[in-house]
Structure 1
């Protein structure tokens, strides 16, 4: 029997999960298909592969990553930890619960660093078109080598779409925005909060991007930060200089009018207005057309394209869980491809989709959504050999994280959590997050001497603690 050929489009965390899933099976003695992964960037990592570029990259392609320079994890690492490659294993010692981007990239990269997975990836290669051939039940994948500018096509039995859905920004318009004399950018193009020092900043949106970039701007010395929400305020106990207002009504020069009648003046606007599902290499009959949510339409078990079950999506959901969810999806897809798990009939798949869609439509709060996604991951793991982990404890971590932010949105990153994989309690980072201005891997893993200012501040913290008690 001829060996199957599998195309993976994208080598970010989802694509790397797929490569790891097949590598795991191969190490256990299984025969795996021929795998070719296409990645349009020069290295893997997807969103975590930071680039200073915005708009168009060095090859004339739309920049994929939305990563900014001083990003730190905005949720505890214990909620995203791989079940079969722990932080303890990678770093050899406990680290804090909220690492910066370089540290998380190193963790993602480290899991496959000693494998032959890189040999399966064609870097600087963009997928241009995927065509399903009904007569042969195969896919023709056309790609362009961005360095040589040559185009080629290959036949594959199955295609895994692992490009994510945070690369094409949703950019609304507001009356009068063309009159605004300051900077206007989407979070996708945001690269660092230092440029917002001493600026009056408007964040349009009430998502986690608005929250995080807003707090980053405050940390880096913005004069004021206002978050504008459409439907519901985040509702944190914001520090002086930060506030929430309802939706923007119109803009007149520097003045922004809000629907509640308030008016503020700003120097900079950052749109944190989300992203759209867009797959320019797929025909419409293969592409997701769904709002961003935790259960996008058209997918059986959130990964199998119902209309053509030889096409798979990884990481297409809005995400509470991230890396370990991508793993659970990848292991399940791998087992479908290897024939270890049977694919139900089209009718049974439709019934499964309907039951989960109904449950999704009845969610009433954030905590319900987290539990829904935990149950979704549990369902995947029960149908593969990915190591089961304590999903209920991860749910509790997410709920505690929400409480921490409500208590103090500036200090929640200083909290510590215990790994559900190893039981290890995280370390306390040597510098409180609000005072840490060096986001590098080297600085993070070091044990720096405290300078005089840090010692004075620590003494003040101790004094305040004694007075409080």
Structure 2
């Protein structure tokens, strides 16, 4: 979507753009934000792309991901809270291109089966299958943009005795909701964002206990009663799990929050990125140009602090390379540039360094294009404030508010606290529900008085 928007932006400004075809395996766009209740395989028998689950709310402030050229104010016409649910964010990214014709360039329900590169003719042949009709076709292209993301192929480790566990075992990729975890003893293996969020979701939905197992170090939040962290799992013996510190616990459900693999089954080895999940993968000049074949580009291949606006910065730069607006350095110059950034990356020490590094990376890309510059230092400040708010209270940080870096608008406070909000629909989020008598008493306002005040304002 970012790539299509970048070309559309140039075309609206009068530029001549090349023929563009986008292949999308899902029936609609939105990537991870396009929720599908299915897990494992979709209705066509294809691997499910999205790892989205019910009641997922943004775990980072929306102000840190806001598009510089399409604000939340413009889309919703009013301030909203800093941590919207999934459907609200999907509506925002869809709304940016809803009135344009870029969707006409997308062939939905179409899986890319293989990409072949002919060195002699300098042409890519892309073979795709229309999943609805079953028809397979091939087309030739001059450039390839790989914009699939890299959070769809789960990394699934092995643990001794796990095959003896009588409860449910699943990867976070297949997790679709915490409601079924009510009154269960839940083990989450992992110590990053998936474990953190699914853990507090399970707590919110009434899990009897939540245990998170870490490999290198605990997340270290001030967890509420009912949530704990223990070191790595040593082995399973039926329902009993042994940890490396000698502790044992019994569980009903296990969720593997063990990350994802860079996997591109439609690409030959010489075009496919192989990398750990980090913020500066090797072999990508400026994080987007495949060094071994600079007519192949990757968007969003990094681990991410910034998201939507980073994808934009990357897409605008790739667009300008394709349009000839930006010059591509020689292979030797690209390699030297990558070494400089990789050296900086290797010296990073902690989250604050990572955020600042990614901000500088984005600044470097934006400086090379006409994408609107925004206050990246302020976004860094918001990220660091967010980290502190999580440290202070991992359950209530989503109830905090931040100002828009683009418009200055301060986010509102959502009408219901995250812990109490069980409806993540767009309709509910944008509504103004009446307070119940209990809620009114808690906040010190009688329901009738509220109605009278609202009538007076009208």
**TM-score, normalising length from structure 2?**
0.96
What SS does the aligned partner of 2:188 have? strand
Residue 233 of structure 1: CA displacement? 0.6
Structure 1 counterpart of 2:451: none
Distance in 2, matches of 1:196 and 1:457, equals: 29
Residue 459 of structure 1: CA displacement? 4.3
Distance in 2, matches of 1:195 and 1:243, equals: 20
Structure 2 counterpart of 1:132: 117
Structure 2 counterpart of 1:169: 154
Pick from 319, 327, 330 the counterpart of residue 345 of structure 1. Answer: 330
Distance in 1, matches of 2:388 and 2:438, equals: 30
Q: Report whether the alignment pairs 1:23 with 2:28.
A: no
User: After superposition, where does 1:254-333 map in structure 2 within 5 Å?
Assistant: 254-333=239-318
Structure 1 counterpart of 2:399: 414
Pick from 353, 363, 375 the counterpart of residue 390 of structure 1. Answer: 375
Residue 452 of structure 1: CA displacement? 2.4
How many residue pairs are counted as aligned between the two chains?
Answer: 445
Distance in 2, matches of 1:455 and 1:229, equals: 42
Distance in 1, matches of 2:242 and 2:210, equals: 15
Structure 2 counterpart of 1:209: 194
Q: Report whether the alignment pairs 1:248 with 2:261.
A: no
Structure 2 stretches lacking a partner, 5+ long: 446-458
Structure 2 counterpart of 1:63: 48
Q: Which ranges of 4 or more aligned residues in structure 1 deviate by more than 6 Å?
A: none
Distance in 1, matches of 2:166 and 2:196, equals: 24
Distance in 2, matches of 1:456 and 1:206, equals: 39
Structure 1 stretches lacking a partner, 5+ long: 1-15, 461-469
Structure 2 counterpart of 1:74: 59
Q: Deviations over 1:6-30 (max 9, x none)?
A: xxxxxxxxxx000000000000000
Pick from 370, 374, 379 the counterpart of residue 355 of structure 2. Answer: 370
Structure 2 counterpart of 1:5: none
User: After superposition, where does 1:4-19 map in structure 2 within 5 Å?
Assistant: 16-19=1-4
Structure 2 counterpart of 1:156: 141
Distance in 2, matches of 1:56 and 1:433, equals: 31
Q: What is the CA RMSD across the aligned residues, in angstroms?
A: 0.8
Distance in 2, matches of 1:376 and 1:210, equals: 28
Pick from 66, 77, 83 the counterpart of residue 92 of structure 1. Answer: 77
Q: Deviations over 1:52-71 (max 9, x none)?
A: 00001011100000000110
What SS does the aligned partner of 1:280 have? coil
Pick from 437, 451, 461 the counterpart of residue 422 of structure 2. Answer: 437
Structure 2 counterpart of 1:186: 171
**TM-score, normalising length from structure 1?**
0.94
Distance in 1, matches of 2:115 and 2:6, equals: 23
Distance in 2, matches of 1:199 and 1:456, equals: 33
